[in-house]
Amino acid sequence: MPCTTRVKEFFDFYQKLDKNSTSDLASFYDEAIVFIDPLHRVEGLPALIAYFDRLYARVSEIDFEFAEPDTSGDRVWCTWVMTYRHPKINRGQPVKVEGASRLDWKQDKVVCHRDFFDAGQMLWEQLPLLGSILALLKKRATG
């Protein structure tokens, strides 16, 4: 079971994470990490660092607001709100995405990190043409 201090350090790290600190992911993730979100599956620490390198190279800003984590044994759940800016998404304006993370720990390292969020809210709805089509479909579906 991860100690409370270690879990807090993990979330504090994410609030400071940027394109210059992705190699520090090794402080928190196991070599055999499995990272899953609605758009990607990444296996292994080198692949995770490369994924974050690409992600942080493209965004102009990214910020996380974390709720209080809930720990049960070796599993930690936490809800969050991510706000990001990308020059080609939403005309460079901030996009807010609500989500949750499940972190499975082994000793002091995360061995599985799974993020749950609405990929449409994060990406597809923010694109000019596709976003308009999705908004129309949502409107039709609800009434």
Do the strands 61-66 and 70-72 form a parallel or antiparallel pair, or are they unpaired?
unpaired
Note the pLDDT of residue 50.
Answer: 97
Note the pLDDT of residue 104.
Answer: 98
Tell me which residues of the chain have a pLDDT lower than 50. Answer: none
Note the pLDDT of residue 130.
Answer: 55
The tokens of 142 are what?
């609800």
Tens of pLDDT along 29-63? Answer: 999 999 999 989 999 999 999 999 998 988 889 99
Per DSSP, what are the bridge partners of residue 7? none
The full set of domain ranges for the chain reads 4-142
Note the pLDDT of residue 129.
Answer: 60
The CATH number that domain 4-142 falls under is 3.10.450.50
